[in-house]
Amino acid sequence: MLRTGLAASALFMAVVAHAAETPPIKIGVLTDMAGPYAAITGKGAVVAAKLAIEDFQKEAPDQKVELLSADHQNKPDIATGIARKWFDVDGVSMVSELTTSAVALAVQKLAEDKNRVSIASGAGSSDLTGKACSKTGFHWTYDTYALANGTGRAIMDQGAKRWYFLTVDYAFGKALQEDVTQAVRAKGGEVIGEVKHPLNTSDFSSFLLQAQQSGADVIGLANAGADLINSIKQANEFGIPQKQRLAALLVYITDVHALGLPVAKNVFLTTAFYWNANDETRAWSKRYFDQMGSIPTMAQAGVYSGALHYLRAASKAKSVEGDKVAGAMREIAVNDAFAKGGKVRADGRMVHDMYLAQVKEPQQSKGPWDYYNIVKVIKGDEAFRPMANGGCPLVVK
């Protein structure tokens, strides 16, 4: 009888202990695994999220975290289908990365409807924290306004006034062109023409010929990833940089690596992260390099930062309900290898310093991936659009 009672008591205690365990927090990385943006996000974004989980569990060792990942193929319908299953069936409470603005805009709306959090890193459209802002949606790494404010203004300051745009034909490219156009006109310049190209274009010859014949001082490349690499390579084959300036408006370090310093040298760019900036960025980038064999892009570093901040906020809120975690995300500062003293605004924009950089000439580079000279630190409040000017309906004027 005693043994039976002890066994029952032990079983009861085991059930109670199991019930008392904190359920895992489930987060997802939804990204481009094999398309034109795979090198700047892709598998590297998943590795970055894993590093965030490692660092969070040093702070909260009893809290389990599970990570899901999937390829959205740069298609909003596929992305929302995956995200809906994650939210409704798999118990995912936060989805991150979301390269391509069309994907990010669609998933951000779905996440708000499901009271879950979305954190865009690779997507660029400033509409994410403007007219399409969300109570539970956040834009982390950069946006088209910050790129325009950095690279666009820097080139204007060098006396190049007449612009022609070669733009990828979807939400990101259109937003980037619009934001750079505003920066150009504010500095007294003019836009004399444009041509749009499909995503994942291999042959840019006809587009570049139109830009060349325009006689513009600057050809603004409002594209990214493989499209940017192909357009710069082909522009060099046509000898365009000898007569007109190329303004690469969104450049990742993997793009420079693919192009090589002889082709990419002296290009100005705006970035949110540089692996070689200080001891902390170098140490974190080494952890990433040891798993990926390459240096992290700003988008991948942004995934790390956003995931770590989300987990810290969920711990503070003691909840994974989107509105509760979103509130905590706005309350605490962002401090990690990606950003120091970052702040999350009411419109969902994470404000942090950006960097105007210039690609080194080959003889200036001291080793592999030593590609940038940091020309200027652009303080966060200067880099990003003032909240009152974005048209976000959550902002009280």
Statement to judge: residues 112 and 238 lie in one domain:
no
Phi, psi of 252 (to 5 degrees): -105, 155
Q: Is residue 262 part of a domain?
A: yes
CATH number at residue 329: 3.40.50.2300
pTM of the full predicted structure?
Answer: 0.90
- CA 85, CA 371: separation in Å to the nearest integer? 41
Q: Do residues 82 and 218 share a domain? A: no
Pairing of strands 372-378, 354-359: antiparallel
Same domain, 272 and 282: no
24 with 129, same domain: the answer is yes
In a domain? residue 12: no
Average pLDDT of the residues in 314-335: 98
Rounded to a whole number of angstroms, the CA Rg of the chain reads 22
Res. 66: pLDDT tops 50: yes
Any domain includes 390: no
In a domain, 296, yes or no: yes
Do residues 205 and 112 both lie within one domain?
Answer: no
**Range of 192's domain?**
145-276+355-382
Starting from the edge strand earliest in sequence, which strands make up the sheet with 65-71, in order? Answer: 65-71, 25-31, 94-97, 117-120, 137-139
Q: Tell whether 130 and 33 lie within a shared domain.
A: yes
- Other beta carbons less than 10 A from residue 280's beta carbon: 12
Residue 319 lies in a domain: yes
| 318 and 241 in a common domain | no
Residues 154-205 have pLDDT tens digits of 888 888 899 999 999 988 999 999 999 999 999 999 999 999 999 999 999 9
Count Cα atoms within 13 angstroms, Cβ side, for 90: 19
Q: How many domains does the chain have?
A: 2
Q: One-letter amino acid identity for 4?
A: T
Q: What is the pLDDT of residues 201-245, one digit of tens each?
A: 999 999 999 999 999 999 999 999 999 999 999 999 999 999 999
